[in-house]
Structure 1
């Protein structure tokens, strides 16, 4: 495993990049800052390689990173309504960083810290202690995020956490996938293995109601392009300015197939598997024009995020799967992004 200084944070601390490789020529570059997936190059159908994630060339850009490109998200991914929750009868008030709501762990979430790196063979683990009271979350939380690039061209992300007090945890990765390597992602074909999705209010906060995907723009039961229905006159699409919704995965197996995304330009297909019950489909609606790595442009809907998760706002909606981690309990989830150049969805 190769590692090198990627740059320096505003504090003067060095940010290190780690390059994972396999015998097929695929490689992933992961930063210790925010556990960010800075690059992910996989074989394409033309016999070359395509970097399939949006990213930046400098630490400064990642420190600004308002879109969370490639970052680990925690303690709680997605939104918490009204920036507050109650646990064991005690109320906790969180930072309002998405209108009145709390988003992606707060002002300085897991994406804004330098983590401790540990190399072991082809696996790369990052650990840190999120202290009691960080972003006003309770409990000391020991977190370990492990990345592995397999010989089957899979990026395997494993999340583990332990706490000394009851707390809430919902960890994910916010990589923006463009399987063409550049340009719009609206021509990507997508299949999502879900028959329901969570209804959002106008602030993209789940209301608690589950809606059927059939007969709606959210029906990805058969592959279709991301852009085919994205601009239809639909209340839920208006609420998200496109897709920014949690899909309820139909398969209840331990490690289940969540989605398949493919590019007509490169022939690359990405299949997402997860142990979690939901996946957030985000079509990059709020990306603004900016320079990305290697001189590539980033703009609205230039990528698709498939963020595996417990359903958003679950603390206020007890019929949703719970993000509560009990004292001395153990949090463990796995998400796999598998890449090949097959055409189809099986």
Structure 2
């Protein structure tokens, strides 16, 4: 449903070149007022973002005939996100994906995190970055969210200062640029958990997907990587030639192809097309992996059908703090964590 902001509550907060609208969006569970920001571009795209969890609530994009539809899964009110949303459109941290047993050892010290996914830690814990109120400011044509995650939050060591910078380009790219610093060594693996349906409704099974990934990380029954990097060739995980998603269940990390000499670090690694609407989504990242989730746990109870949306989450590999041969996610004092991803929508 398209939510219209009451005109009397709308404020224009941006530069002379572009306007970002802000409107009230209810209150957080602790009573803190929330805001909903609307970004637009020259193509008529519209993206709505709340400072509760850095959540993208709506993305309106044109089809091949210029008709707008909301192509992401989300809710019209803030209250619907409290306690029941499966990370719809949320900013994820400190550590995206799963950590086995919620435990890891860093510099000889074992840390126990919040366990919120069976026996494991998922997406930063029960009160991850998706469930906090971020400070929000409009800086030029960007919406900038900031949060200090205190030492011990959800079991993580160190105070972590995080910034997420959202921009919407005229090329249809919604870009999220993360930056973080810490005063104590800690794992950091930030990502964004948007659910997409390029048709705007129905199943995602007919969406055609290409992923530039020669390997994936097999998982056990708890969706924890076994440690193996397995080739996708000859398996249902091979999307190197575009094909329909189909009915196969996916909730796996794909190990993306390494950049060639001279390639820009931010590269298009995934492309998805929806034949009926002509909409196309490209995911640009410089992370080593991307989690592809095919909406297997959607059951209609939240207003969206089974497999009514898919997620593509650029990130480091799951359980990296416990897998020494995976790329490291440890951030230390004096270092700066930087991670930029983009979801680029267009027509073909």
Question: Which residue is 1:120 aligned to?
Answer: 139
Question: Which residue is 2:204 aligned to?
Answer: 185
Question: Which residue is 1:340 aligned to?
Answer: 346
Q: Give the whole-Å Cα distance in 2 for the aligned partners of 1:21 and 1:306.
A: 23
C-alpha displacement at 1:299, in angstroms? 2.1
C-alpha displacement at 1:3, in angstroms? 0.4
Structure 2 residue corresponding to 1:249, chosen from 247, 252, 256: 256
Is 1:23 aligned to 2:42, yes or no?
A: yes
Question: Which residue is 1:236 aligned to?
Answer: none
C-alpha displacement at 1:15, in angstroms? 1.3
Is 1:310 aligned to 2:329, yes or no?
A: no
The one-character-per-residue Cα deviations of 1:177-201 (angstroms, maximum 9, x if unpaired) are 0001111111111010001000111
Is 1:166 aligned to 2:177, yes or no?
A: no
Question: Which residue is 1:239 aligned to?
Answer: none
**Superposition TM-score, scaled by structure 2 size:** 0.91
Is 1:61 aligned to 2:80, yes or no?
A: yes
Question: Which residue is 2:280 aligned to?
Answer: 269
C-alpha displacement at 1:143, in angstroms? 0.1
Is the deviation greater in 254-263 or in 173-182?
254-263
Q: Give the whole-Å Cα distance in 1 for the aligned partners of 2:44 and 2:225.
A: 41
The one-character-per-residue Cα deviations of 1:130-182 (angstroms, maximum 9, x if unpaired) are 01111110011000001000011100110100001111100001100000111
Moved over 4 A (4+): none
1:41-80 equivalence runs, <5 A: 41-80=60-99
Question: The residue matched to 1:145 in structure 2 has which SS?
Answer: strand
C-alpha displacement at 1:326, in angstroms? 0.9
Is 1:175 aligned to 2:197, yes or no?
A: no
Q: Is the 8 A contact 2:28 2:133 kept in 1?
A: no
Question: Which residue is 2:337 aligned to?
Answer: 331
Question: Which residue is 1:278 aligned to?
Answer: 289
Is 1:138 aligned to 2:146, yes or no?
A: no
Q: Give the whole-Å Cα distance in 2 for the aligned partners of 1:27 and 1:67.
A: 23
C-alpha displacement at 1:121, in angstroms? 2.1
C-alpha displacement at 1:14, in angstroms? 1.4
C-alpha displacement at 1:57, in angstroms? 1.4
RMSD: 1.0
Is the deviation greater in 5-14 or in 133-142?
5-14
Structure 2 residue corresponding to 1:96, chosen from 105, 108, 115: 115
Q: Is the 8 A contact 1:251 1:257 kept in 2?
A: no
Q: Give the whole-Å Cα distance in 2 for the aligned partners of 1:276 and 1:34.
A: 22
C-alpha displacement at 1:328, in angstroms? 1.7
The one-character-per-residue Cα deviations of 1:68-103 (angstroms, maximum 9, x if unpaired) are 000000000000001100011000011111111100
Is 1:209 aligned to 2:228, yes or no?
A: yes
Q: Give the whole-Å Cα distance in 1 for the aligned partners of 2:300 and 2:83.
A: 14
Question: Which residue is 2:14 aligned to?
Answer: none
Matched positions, count: 325
Q: Give the whole-Å Cα distance in 1 for the aligned partners of 2:225 and 2:65.
A: 42
Question: Which residue is 1:322 aligned to?
Answer: 328
